[in-house]
Amino acid sequence: MLLKYAIKVCKYAIKVYKDPLNELSFICSENNGKIGVYAWVNTLNNKFYIGSNPIYLRLSDYYKN
């Protein structure tokens, strides 16, 4: 069931990052100052999280850990 929703999330995405750990600098610079809705999809277990916030602030929180 989760896979069905994860696929839909990706289908309507404006931007998808395939390798967020290695694209950190690019992702942060591209989203600096942007506000919107975002989704993280775990491709190993197909679970996903959808949030809305200033994207650049949330990304900095995720990458701190």
Domain residue extents for the chain: 2-64
Provide the pLDDT for residue 5.
64
Q: What is the pLDDT of residues 3-62, one digit of tens each?
A: 666 666 667 778 888 888 888 888 888 888 888 888 888 878 878 888 888 887 777 777
pLDDT for position 6: 63
Residue 7, token pair as written in the block: 């696929």
Rounded-to-integer distance, Cα 64 and Cα 55, Å: 14
Q: Where are the alpha helices (DSSP H) in the chain?
A: 2-11, 24-31, 55-64
Q: Exposed (0-12), middle (13-18) or buried (19+): which is 17, by Cβ within 10 Å? A: middle
What is the reported pLDDT for 3? 60
* Residue 1 scores a pLDDT above 70: no
Can you read off the two tokens belonging to residue 5? 């929703």
